[in-house]
Amino acid sequence: MSALPLRIATRKSALALWQAEHVAARLRQAHPGQPVELLPMSTRGDDIQDRPLAAIGGKGLFLKELEIAMLEDRADIAVHSLKDVPADLEPGFALVATLARADAADAFVSTAYPDLAALPAGARVGTSSLRRQAQLRALRPDLRLLDLRGNLGTRLAKLDAGHYDAILLAAAGLERLGMAARIRSLLPAPGWLPAPGQAAITVEARAGDARIAALLAPLHDAETALCVSAERAFNAALGGSCTLPVAAYALLGERELHLHGLVGDAASGRLLRAAQSGTTDAPEALGEALATQLLHAGAGALLAR
């Protein structure tokens, strides 16, 4: 009797499909003979392209249809970019595996300029991320920041058509789609902080499904999971939204976990930064402690805007 196929719900964008195919390939490698199928779907976050995500409900809009497919038993798992996953999942779901993380840095992409410092005063930079906008305003208050939505191909096409002088994207997405040559320079941590969970691929499933959890276990990367647990706990303690101007990056040392965090104001460019280290057995506590430190420093007022 052949094994039941493992059905993966995924968005239809090129990057989402790459990530789902990557998970499928890893599953086939770990479990020879296990059939794996993709179920590409459109989500509300993909369909609404004329408004910033913060104005229509946040990145959780990328998950809803995939979760419904799992509830209706049309899919067994869903593959996500972890940075798009809200801090609190809908009841009945769990993140059952997080793969080894790629480069978490943001990338500076331009057809004419090598890096952020080279942009002339008044240059047009495309990004709809409040996190990126806050850090841009802090570094270069002279720039014009313009909204930018769409998949990677759409964003690059808008840049190439002259709508922007530069755009900011996640380096990992460009690298995964074979577009690393478009990266003019990187914006690495801790000087510039990424979104919590950036560059990590995660797999969501129905909570308590032991068969699915066992199949996904070989894909799980413990070091990445430690780091992103701290980052996501930091974000959750500050409100948990993927659309807040919140950034975090954790790095595993020999015996400690080091976490950098930031809360910003996209309008003024005011940034509040802090860093803490803690034991590797309590990543969530480290994230919560760093959030508390920033809240005591005035982060609540920035987030309230």
User: Considering 46, 50, 73, 84, which one is annotated as catalytic?
Assistant: 84
Q: Are 85 and 63 in contact (CB under 8 A)?
A: yes
List Cβ neighbours of 86 (8 Å cut-off, separation of 6 or more).
58, 59, 60, 63, 240, 241, 242
Per the CB < 8 A criterion, the answer to whether 109 and 238 are in contact is no
| Token duo for residue 53 | 């995500």
| CA count, 13 A, side-chain hemisphere, 286 | 28
C-alpha 63/C-alpha 84 separation (Å) is 8
Alpha-carbon distances, residue 10 vs 14, 61, 145, 169 (angstroms): 10, 13, 31, 21
Backbone torsions φ then ψ of 79, nearest 5 degrees = -105, 130
Closest CA to 265 of 141, 142, 134: 134
Closest listed residue to residue 108, CA positions, set 21, 188, 183, 24: 183
Whose tokens are 């769990």? That residue is 94
47 annotated active-site: no
Cβ pair 288, 231 in contact under 8 A: no
The whole-angstrom distance between residue 152's C-alpha and the CA centroid of its chain comes to 14
Element (H, E) at 223: helix 222-237
User: In the structure encoding, which two tokens stand for residue 30, read together?
Assistant: 């770990």
Q: Which residues are catalytic?
A: 84
